[in-house]
Amino acid sequence: MSEEIVLVTGGSRGIGAATARLAGARGYRVCVNYRTDAAAAAEVVESIRSSGGTAFAVQADVSRAAEVERLFRAVDQEYGPLTALVNNAGTLEQQSRLEDLDEDRLARIWAANITGPFLCAAAAVRRMSTRHGGRGGAIVNVSSRAARLGGPNEYVDYAASKGALDTMTTGLALEVAAEGIRVNSVRPGLIHTGIHALGGEPGRVDRVGPQLPMGRGGRPEEVAESILFLLSASSSYTTGAFIDLAGGR
């Protein structure tokens, strides 16, 4: 039985699903977290199991502290304390200018994209840190190139939330560097997933992809490869680092 145990938040679809599948294929025991789409999560678990891997799914909204505690306790009970966390769950809303954003929308974006990764990172550190008797581990935060590009006319709120996540990557990496935990980030650009439909433009990657330096959008599997690299011993001296996956943008 593998020693490596990974929790992938938002593992039911898109980048999270590709990451969960690749982790399963690399021998990790995988917890696939999802918020609403139980069928999609079950499909990811089934595909990992049918390839000989080990996985289970847990429903939890990562922006709620009580649900995060329930999620991590489920992993403890099923596999034992985790060794890897992928803070992947995230969301965006209808494309809009900043002057049209209201308080409720801002609260939803901060909750999903900032509070969620903070709560999950805290729960992971309490289990991984040598300071708490843990055996160390690795955390990968899924940010976005938007954190640097700003998301003008589409979602400055989303971009700013990823900027906050980048600051967390830097700060937490330094905070736990001597406690056996590495904290790194990937910043995808335009990736073919369902998230763009939430912004009101499901075909966004097809529209913008040809204008990128590499002339195309990315695939979730290409992001998953970098996430697995940052989780693995192949990056054992890397912490507080960012890998941009944006086709040159």
Task: List residues near ligand NAP by CB under 6 A.
Answer: 9-10, 12-16, 33-37, 40, 61-63, 88-91, 112, 116, 142, 144, 188, 190-191, 193-195
Laid out side by side, the sheet with 84-87 consists of: 54-59, 29-34, 5-8, 84-87, 137-142, 181-188, 242-245
Given the complex with ligand NAP, which of 53 and 151 has the nearer CB atom?
151
CA atoms 61, 66, 70, 71: torsion sign: positive
Are the beta carbons of 7 and 69 closer than 8 angstroms?
no
Q: How far is the CB of 9 from ligand NAP (least distance, A)?
A: 6
Given the complex with ligand NAP, which of 16 and 137 has the nearer CB atom?
16
Q: How far is the CB of 187 from ligand NAP (least distance, A)?
A: 7
Given the complex with ligand NAP, which of 134 and 163 has the nearer CB atom?
163
3-state secondary structure of 1: coil
* Among 93, 64, 18, CA closest to 245: 18
Given the complex with ligand NAP, which of 15 and 138 has the nearer CB atom?
15
Choose, from 34, 79, 158, 237, the residue flagged as catalytic.
158
Q: How far is the CB of 64 from ligand NAP (least distance, A)?
A: 8
Alpha-carbon gap, residue 180 to 197, rounded angstroms = 39
Given the complex with ligand NAP, which of 36 and 130 has the nearer CB atom?
36
**Count of alpha carbons within 13 angstroms of residue 194, beta-carbon side:** 10
**158 has catalytic annotation:** yes
Residue 84 contacts by C-beta under 8 Å, 6 or more apart in sequence? 4, 5, 6, 7, 23, 28, 137, 138, 139, 140, 231
Query: Rg of the chain's alpha carbons, rounded to an integer?
Result: 17
**51-60 per-residue burial string, b: 16 or more CB within 10 A, e: under 16:** eebbbbbbbb
Q: How far is the CB of 220 from ligand NAP (least distance, A)?
A: 6
Q: How far is the CB of 80 from ligand NAP (least distance, A)?
A: 22
Are the beta carbons of 145 and 201 closer than 8 angstroms?
no
Are the beta carbons of 63 and 115 closer than 8 angstroms?
yes
Catalytic residues: 158
